[in-house]
Amino acid sequence: MPQYTPPMRDMQFVMHELLNVVDELKMLPAHADIDADTINAVLEEGGKFAAEVIAPINLSGDAEGCTLDQATHAVTTPKGFKEAYKQYVEAGWAALSCDTEYGGQGLPLLVNQFFYEMLNSANQAWTMYPGLSHGAYEALHAHGTPEQKATYLPKLTSGEWTGTMCLTEPHCGTDLGLLRTKAEPQADGTYKITGAKIFISAGEHDMAENIIHLVLARLPDAPAGSKGISLFVVPKFNVNADGSLGSRNGIFCAGLEHKMGIHGNATAQIVLEGATGTLVGQPNKGLAAMFVMMNAARLGVGNQSLGLTEVAYQNAVSYAKDRIQMRALSGPKAPDKPADPIIVHPDVRKMLLTARAFAEGGRMLQGYTVLQLDKALKSDDEDERKDCEAEVALLTPIIKAFITDNGWLATSHCLQVYGGHGFIHEWGMEQFVRDARINMIYEGTNTIQSLDLLGRKVLANNGATLKKFGKKIAAFIEEEGVNEAMQEFVNPLADLGDKVNKLTQEIGMKAFGNPDEVGAAAVDYLRVVGHMTFAYFFAQAAKIALAKKDSGDPFYTAKLATARFYFAKLLPETASLIRSCRAGLAPLMEMDEALF
Please say whether the dihedral angle defined by the alpha carbons of residues 400, 402, 405 and 409, taken in this order, is positive or negative. Answer: negative
Amino acid of residue 212: I
- Calpha distance 271→585 (Å, rounded): 41
Given the DSSP bridges, would you call strands 251-256 and 267-280 parallel, antiparallel or unpaired? antiparallel
Residue 124 burial (10 A CB sphere; 0-12, 13-18, 19+): buried
* Cα separations in angstroms, 69 against 83, 85, 170, 254: 20, 21, 22, 9
* Cα separations in angstroms, 559 against 313, 499, 541, 553: 15, 27, 7, 11
Please name the residues in contact with 470: beta carbons below 8 A apart, sequence gap of 6 or more.
Answer: 497, 500, 501
Say how many Å lie between the first and final Cα of the chain, rounded. 44
Alpha carbons within 13 angstroms on the beta-carbon side of residue 402 total 27
Alpha helices in 423-463 (DSSP H): 429-438, 446-451
Per DSSP, the three-state class of 233 is: strand
Question: Beta strands of 351-497 (E only): which ranges?
Answer: none
- Calpha distance 103→115 (Å, rounded): 19
Catalytic residues: 443
Nearest CA to 282 among 235, 230, 233, 234? 230
Long-range contacts, 140-148 (Cβ 8 Å, 24+): 140/214, 140/233, 140/280, 141/99, 141/102, 142/289, 142/292, 143/231, 143/280, 143/281, 143/289, 143/292, 144/233, 144/280, 145/278, 145/280, 147/278, 148/233, 148/278, 148/280
- Calpha distance 132→595 (Å, rounded): 43
Which residues does residue 233 pair with via DSSP β-bridges, in sequence order? 214, 278
* Cα separations in angstroms, 189 against 148, 227, 244, 278: 13, 22, 20, 8
- Calpha distance 141→150 (Å, rounded): 10
Nearest CA to 110 among 475, 471, 376, 431? 376
Amino acid of residue 409: L
Q: CA gyration radius for the chain?
A: 24
Pair 532, 394: CB distance under 8 Å: no
Pair 386, 377: CB distance under 8 Å: no
